[in-house]
Amino acid sequence: MNPINEAHLREPGQVVVDVAGADDETVFAVQAALAARWATSPADRTTRDVGEPGVRLRCYLDVRQPISSPTAAADAACEVSAASPR
């Protein structure tokens, strides 16, 4: 992943989240759970590091702007759990 710099975080309350997972489905499920709770700038693709297993995704959140109720966030967390391998 590229380093995070000032241009990514212009104001307090903005967060850069790097997610690493086994596959695209897993990291996109995590991003969806985050987006269910906060305003987000979603990633549309993942990256792979040569010689390393899994994928990575970077998304940007604005935690000052909750967009749903805590119940919706809990529902999204359940969807992430359901997406994980058993």
Please give the pLDDT value at position 11. 74
Count Cβ atoms within 10 A of the Cβ of residue 61 and give its class: 0-12 exposed, 13-18 middle, 19 or more buried: buried
Please give the pLDDT value at position 55. 95
Which of 28-37, 42-51, 63-72 is the least confident region?
A: 63-72
Domain ranges of the chain: 19-83
Are 55 and 27 spatial neighbours (Cβ–Cβ below 8 Å)? yes
* pTM for this entry: 0.64
Q: pLDDT (tens digit, 9 = 90+) per residue, 63-79? A: 887 676 555 545 544 45
Q: What is the mean pLDDT of the chain?
A: 77
